[in-house]
Structure 1
Amino acid sequence: MTRPEPFDGSAFLPPGVKHVPGMAQELMDELAPLLAAEGIDLNNPPEDLDVFNAALRSASERRNMELFIPVGEERVRALVLVFSAIKQVAMGDEGTGIAVLSAAVPQATDTAPSVGHVCGVTWAMLDSVLSNRLAADALEGFVIPAGEEALRVAAAHTLIEARHGGATTSTAALIGLHNGANAMVGAVLALAGVLITAARRLDTSVTELMRGELGRGEAGELAAALARLETPEPSAGGRQRRKAHKKERRTEASTVRRADARLFNNAVAWYSRHEADDTEDVQMYSFGLEAALAVARGAGLDPHSPTDVCALATFVALLPPGDDDEAAGAEHLILLGSIPRYANYRVDQSQDDPEWQAALRRCIGIVEGSSAESDAGYHHASWPEPVGDLEGLVHRMVLAESEPERERRLAAELILPAVSGIPRVVEWVGKGRPVTSTGGVRRADIAALGGFLGLDVVGVASPSLSTEGPRELTSMWDHPLLENWWTTLLEMGILETSSTRVKPGEKAGHPLAPEEIEQFVRVMVAATILPSPEVLEPSEGYTAWVVINALTEAIERGAEAVLPTGLGFGAEVYAGPVLRGLADLGVANVTRDKRGTRVSVPADLRLPVAAGARYVVRVLQDAHELG
């Protein structure tokens, strides 16, 4: 005899529609005794349809109560299973805690609780605690302690419903959107997060909390105890005890609130400096991010976790407002759109941490409604067709360039800050300067290095919220132009680094030849268009093609080219830094307003820009063939 798989049965299937012969009759047979209690005989139903429908609604509600609100021994079995799982999670063994719940079965037996009963008792306790506003405030900053994304999303949904006292009345949405298994496990993980945080803030243990009232599936006393943390009552011990209590509170929920406020302000300040088109854009992002952070905290999701930020995006996308509410729909889109922009901020602040990069791509995919693979909409097959023949264009420009034109190009290249700054940075490095473990200059040297490029930047340990004055960087790598320039100086042998110092390289002792200057500019252009060709993501390749096509058109026409609209959210996120990088480098003029984005290339710099773009095209074509 084969052992049944855990979570087997109809309650665990994903939502869908399947015709089962006789199902309607079976349901009516189950409702018959309940309808009889309402005075309705199914064999002789009343002629008044309103009377029948009212009785049917009442019977259905009572049937749902039977499915999700156990009594007696069934209630005890459900609570024992819930607390057994939470105990394991609280001890740090999340896998075992989740596995414990596999003992639940589709229909309750004399030895095992049903999935519905486990959901019901858990939802009721969450409703009791979180619908108390002061108790919920005292739990500020608690997080769902375990689970893959689908379970975390189910837990988040449960918590949001419970905050409005409605988890027990939202069975259709919770089961329908997440399926029985995920709804059950998500609810228990949500309660585990609440109890772990409550135990810490009440200076007790999860085991102790699960005794007494809570052990009976009631949480009124727990809610009251948590509420008292937010409104401490005067007691024997006087002022000193109240001061100590307030100090303890500051280290818990209130600390989380202040940290979230700083996070919000820093993210908005960064966006206003690096991404925003205008004041209205900043205001919309501020509105969306504030709402997103509020949802995250209410749903037990940590905005400092890449995994939880993805779960937040999935959850927000899962529950759009009704189609008939245009205003709510617009607000929902602003909220959802703020999440990948926030992830982009975290990528920048984490110096391109791979987990945050993956979260950014995932969030972009969620916003665009693509599959779980966020770059699905940007697969190689969907990359734009090249505009014109860039290879032929470069070849023709090289052959047609006259000596006066060559001299003007060289003069234009020499006055680019990235080129004119070369002898200055070599002199500044002198016999050697210290570098950080990442190979970049120290924060104290960022202002000097940026000055060689005409950048108003300064290195700081913690950025302020002001948008006035120098751009504050926690690392040299936070600025794309600084990163590209430093890397190119090293690649071309103008500088070289050891584990602790930078010093002049073998090519630093003499001026660069004209062809070396052209190569330097070409490499800088290519690195700006495609910063990381060795780890090329489809969305970055898509964006690079869009930018290259605009540059090609601008060079061929000798006039402004307009970037196409409707590129998709991912392309818009990636295109901003690329275009700003080209403008900062001095090789392109970029104008952005509500009418669109326009790009032009100075006449004397068209050849090196085209040559740099051509190199990127070759990389993209190789990737396309491999992809």
Structure 2
Amino acid sequence: MKHVPGLADEILQELAPLLAAEGVDINDPKGVDIDALRAALGPAMERRNMELFTPTGAHRTQALAVLRRFTEATAAGRADEAQAVLDGVETDETEDHPAISHVIGVTLDLLDSWYSDRRLRTALASTRVASRRRPVRACATDLLSAARRHTTFDSLDKLTVAHGGLILFEGGATLVAASIAAIAKRQRRKVTAICRDLLIADPEYASVDVVAAPDGRAEEAGRTTPADDRILAEFEEWLSRQPQIAAPTVEDEATALRAIFTLARTSGADLRNPHDIGTAVDLLVDMGTGDGRDDHDIMMSSLFALDEYIHFQWEISRRPENWDRAHDIVEDALSARDGGGQLADVVERATAVDPQLRRAALKNTRVSAAVPVLLEWLGTSRPISQSGNLRLADIEPVAAMLGVRAKGVRKVPPLAEVPATGFATDEPLPEPEPLFATSMRQVPVLWAWWQAMLRCDILETTATRVRPGPASGRWIDGGEPPIEGAEALNGLFVSFLLSERMFDDDQFGSGAAVAVLASRMLIAAAAPELGIGAPDDARSTILRPRALQLMARLELLGLLTRDASGTPAVPEGLKSAVLRGAMLVMDVATRGEGT
């Protein structure tokens, strides 16, 4: 993770007035209490989100007009026009146009309001989401679930991480249209009449450009848009002010980035959206995998141009933190293609370790040693919950097999819900003792073990029961599982444990960022020769206790040890499994997929 000088300070200074309202003065010469800062960050970020996503005055009216025009075009079956309405909304607002964030904010506010209104409850019960784009349909479905819980705005961060800002924008508009259609059908009124009542009376208030194209955004494939041209011109002007750039000349780098924008458009990606950077990276890497040196050189220069483009976005964006993950994706690609082969060499050497040493080390981890105990407890089969997990009564004995104190309960005792306080940023987040859980999913070590055994066919489930799987025989009665099976089990356990909260988000930061940070710490412990250092930026400092908590769990299971100086280390025979598990998480984080 690359530290960008001044970026953390800029973000904190932007939050300073909001933090001050929480009693934290970041400019206090006596220093800032880290616990107080941590406690204040959540409310401050929430209010900042409210400011960014809650337009007022003309911009709110313009956002409502966008939703009305989209809804009416959708209801009339004019899909191309509906898509063109959304295409006319850009990332930043102007005097006559709302920003994408404005439309998202208004959308979430409307959905929470409508779905909590008893007068609309019966009509909205029949809301059905429809979209010809699967990602939009998936996002709208998640939004519908949140709307029915009246938590759409509270779910903003989680939805953005899961789907990306642009898909959330389109998915929200799609759900607004579907909701109004359901109301109109129930009330036997026209959609336009419902739009006048619930959105805005004058759909022409906002001068959003509508130029219908045969396939909406797909019409832009293969060429840059006017919005692209504006951002590329700004990037070129920014480059001219930089003391040093990656390319020989400003013109060379600007030309390279324009080519990347055009290439991305061929896959429907919009590089003004940070969530689409991964698509561009994949395309560039695919182009650079040829045997020719020129292909590799073009790929590397393109990746460097993309990296500088993200630095440019950090400076101009109203929410620069949205580009952090995009930066990680580019940096990972650069590392993998320019010296990252060292890690592959480490894994290859770890796999070549004496098989007997590897077998003994893998057999002695709690992940492996507890398998025969579980299979004996399981017998021929046992009942499971409707979600396919252990029943509450079984959580305690099975967790104990891993050395974890956990108790399944229907309701968490009040005192158990009080968050731990007083821990330092260089210490792991404390584990509750015991851990009260209303489902197995809330016991991370147990859940990761269960998932790994299912993937390795040690267990298999039906709709109501769990039983030994086809690969269980070699683990029973002192059997000797194949080294590949033991390594797969331990490696998958590592990946599931590190990624357990990967796409969650809370007031301390992104769950994905914690997974990446812990994975890098684990790779550094397994391969110290790579010289991977710990990031020291403000965000990583805040996330560090959670990453250290994951490391502590691996130490509990015997997958991680400490040398004489107390530095984390991975036993020689476990390096292959541990590295593969951590690298899988890094790959998932880069591609934005689930394990």
- TM-score by shorter chain over 0.5: no
TM range (shorter): 0.3 to 0.5
TM-score norm. by structure 1 comes to 0.39
| Rg comparison, structure with higher value | 1
TM-score norm. by structure 2 comes to 0.41
